[in-house]
Structure 1
Amino acid sequence: MFCYQCEQADRTGAVPGCAGPLGNCGKDPATADVQDLLIHSVKGIAQYASRARALGAGNDEAAGFILYSVFTTLTNVNFNPTRFVALLQEASDIRDRVRARYEEAARGRGLEPERLTGPAEWQPAPDLDGLLAQAPAFRVDAGLDLVGPDVVGLRSLHLYALKGICAYAHHAHVLGRHSTEVFGGVEDGLAYLAGEPADVDELLDRAIGLGRLNLAVMELLDAANTGTYGPQRPTAVRTTPVAGKAILVSGHDLRDLAALLEQTKDSGINVYTHGEMLPAHAYPLLKAYPHLAGNYGGAWQDQQREFARFPGPILMTSNCIIEPYPAYRRRIFTTGPVGWPGVRHLADGDFSPVVQAAKAMPGYRTEGPERFITVGFGHDALLAAADQVVDAVRRGAIRHFFLVGGCDGPTVGRDYYRDVALGAPDDAVVLTLGCAKYRFNQHDFGAIDGIPRLLDLGQCNDAHSAVRIAQALADAFGCGIDELPLTLALSWTEQKAVAVLLSLLALGIRGIHLGPSLPAYLTPGLVAVLVDRFGLRTIGDPKTDIAAALERAGA
Structure 2
Amino acid sequence: MFCYQCEQTAGGTGCTVKGVCGKNEDIASLQDTLIFGLKGIGAYAYHARELGAKDDEIDAFMHEAMFATLTNVDFDVERFLSLVLTCGRMNLRVMELLNQAHVKRFGEPRPAEVETGTKAGKGILVTGHDLLDLYELLKQTEGQGIYIYTHGEMLPAHGYPELRKFKHLVGNYGNAWQEQRKDFDAFPGAILVTTNCVMIPKDSYRRRLFTTGIAGVEGVRHIQGRDFSAVIAAARELPSLPEAPGKKIATGFHYTAVLGLLDKIAAAVKAGRIRRFFVIGGCDGAKPGRNYYTRLAELVPKDCGILTVACGKYRFNKMEFGAIDGIPRLIDVGQCNDAYSVIQIALALSKAFGLPVNELPLSIVLSWFEQKAVAILLTLLSLGIQGMRIGPTPPAFLTPGVFKILQEKFDLKLITTPEDDMKAMLGS
Aligned to 1:357: 234
For residues 187 and 526 of structure 1, the distance between their equivalents in structure 2, rounded to whole angstroms, comes to 24
Tell me if structure 2 keeps the 8 A contact 1:239–1:371. Answer: yes
Aligned to 2:184: 307
What's the offset of the Cα at 1:233?
A: 0.5
Tell me if structure 2 keeps the 8 A contact 1:144–1:152. Answer: no
Instruction: Identify the match of residue 360 of structure 2 among 480, 484, 487.
Output: 484
Tell me if structure 2 keeps the 8 A contact 1:150–1:525. Answer: yes
Tell me if structure 2 keeps the 8 A contact 1:412–1:516. Answer: no
1:400-415 counterparts in 2 under 5 A? 400-415=276-291
1:76-475 counterparts in 2 under 5 A? 145=10, 147=21, 148-194=24-70, 196-364=73-241, 366-475=242-351
Aligned to 1:506: 382
Tell me if structure 1 keeps the 8 A contact 2:126–2:194. Answer: yes
Q: Deviations over 1:128-174 (max 9, x none)?
A: xxxxxxxxxx9xxx997484321111110010000001101111110
For residues 442 and 144 of structure 1, the distance between their equivalents in structure 2, rounded to whole angstroms, comes to 51
Q: Deviations over 1:179-234 (max 9, x none)?
A: 11222222221122236433211111111111110110110111011111011101
Tell me if structure 1 keeps the 8 A contact 2:277–2:307. Answer: yes
**Count of matched residue pairs:** 413
SS of match in other structure, 1:258: helix
Q: Deviations over 1:20-63 (max 9, x none)?
A: xxxxxxxxxxxxxxxxxxxxxxxxxxxxxxxxxxxxxxxxxxxx
Tell me if structure 2 keeps the 8 A contact 1:331–1:357. Answer: yes
For residues 199 and 314 of structure 1, the distance between their equivalents in structure 2, rounded to whole angstroms, comes to 48
SS of match in other structure, 1:319: coil
What's the offset of the Cα at 1:339?
A: 1.2
Q: Deviations over 1:308-347 (max 9, x none)?
A: 1101111100110111100011111111111111111112
Question: Unaligned regions of 5+ residues in structure 2, if any?
Answer: 16-20
What's the offset of the Cα at 1:271?
A: 0.5
Tell me if structure 2 keeps the 8 A contact 1:143–1:152. Answer: no
Tell me if structure 2 keeps the 8 A contact 1:509–1:534. Answer: yes
What's the offset of the Cα at 1:491?
A: 0.2
Q: Deviations over 1:409-434 (max 9, x none)?
A: 01231111111111100000000011
Equivalent position amino acid for 1:197 in 2: D
For residues 326 and 236 of structure 1, the distance between their equivalents in structure 2, rounded to whole angstroms, comes to 34
For residues 459 and 144 of structure 1, the distance between their equivalents in structure 2, rounded to whole angstroms, comes to 43
Question: Unaligned regions of 5+ residues in structure 1, if any?
Answer: 1-14, 16-137
For residues 153 and 115 of structure 2, the distance between their equivalents in structure 1, rounded to whole angstroms, comes to 15
SS of match in other structure, 1:194: coil
For residues 143 and 398 of structure 1, the distance between their equivalents in structure 2, rounded to whole angstroms, comes to 58
SS of match in other structure, 2:167: coil
For residues 140 and 296 of structure 2, the distance between their equivalents in structure 1, rounded to whole angstroms, comes to 42
For residues 273 and 157 of structure 2, the distance between their equivalents in structure 1, rounded to whole angstroms, comes to 31
For residues 380 and 254 of structure 2, the distance between their equivalents in structure 1, rounded to whole angstroms, comes to 17
Aligned to 1:37: none
Equivalent position amino acid for 1:458 in 2: G
For residues 219 and 75 of structure 2, the distance between their equivalents in structure 1, rounded to whole angstroms, comes to 41
For residues 188 and 75 of structure 2, the distance between their equivalents in structure 1, rounded to whole angstroms, comes to 53
Quote the sequence identity (%).
Answer: 49
Tell me if structure 1 keeps the 8 A contact 2:116–2:245. Answer: no
Tell me if structure 2 keeps the 8 A contact 1:251–1:318. Answer: yes
Tell me if structure 2 keeps the 8 A contact 1:235–1:376. Answer: yes
For residues 8 and 252 of structure 2, the distance between their equivalents in structure 1, rounded to whole angstroms, comes to 46
Equivalent position amino acid for 1:526 in 2: V
For residues 186 and 257 of structure 1, the distance between their equivalents in structure 2, rounded to whole angstroms, comes to 28
Q: Deviations over 1:438-492 (max 9, x none)?
A: 1110111010000000000000111100000000000111111111010001001
Tell me if structure 2 keeps the 8 A contact 1:211–1:506. Answer: yes
Aligned to 1:7: none
For residues 357 and 224 of structure 1, the distance between their equivalents in structure 2, rounded to whole angstroms, comes to 31
- Normalised by the length of structure 2, the TM-score is 0.94
Equivalent position amino acid for 1:517 in 2: T
For residues 309 and 251 of structure 2, the distance between their equivalents in structure 1, rounded to whole angstroms, comes to 10
**Larger strand percent:** 2
For residues 143 and 339 of structure 1, the distance between their equivalents in structure 2, rounded to whole angstroms, comes to 39
SS of match in other structure, 1:327: helix
For residues 399 and 279 of structure 2, the distance between their equivalents in structure 1, rounded to whole angstroms, comes to 27
Name the Cα RMSD after superposition: 1.7
For residues 309 and 271 of structure 2, the distance between their equivalents in structure 1, rounded to whole angstroms, comes to 27
Tell me if structure 2 keeps the 8 A contact 1:282–1:376. Answer: yes
Residues 144/186 of structure 1: CA separation in 2 closer, same or farther (3 Å cut):
farther
Residues 143/167 of structure 1: CA separation in 2 closer, same or farther (3 Å cut):
farther
Equivalent position amino acid for 1:469 in 2: I
Tell me if structure 2 keeps the 8 A contact 1:406–1:490. Answer: yes
Equivalent position amino acid for 2:134 in 1: L
SS of match in other structure, 2:355: coil
Aligned to 2:18: none
What's the offset of the Cα at 1:263?
A: 0.6
Equivalent position amino acid for 1:484 in 2: L
What's the offset of the Cα at 1:370?
A: 4.2
For residues 198 and 536 of structure 1, the distance between their equivalents in structure 2, rounded to whole angstroms, comes to 24
Equivalent position amino acid for 1:284 in 2: P
SS of match in other structure, 1:414: helix
For residues 476 and 524 of structure 1, the distance between their equivalents in structure 2, rounded to whole angstroms, comes to 38
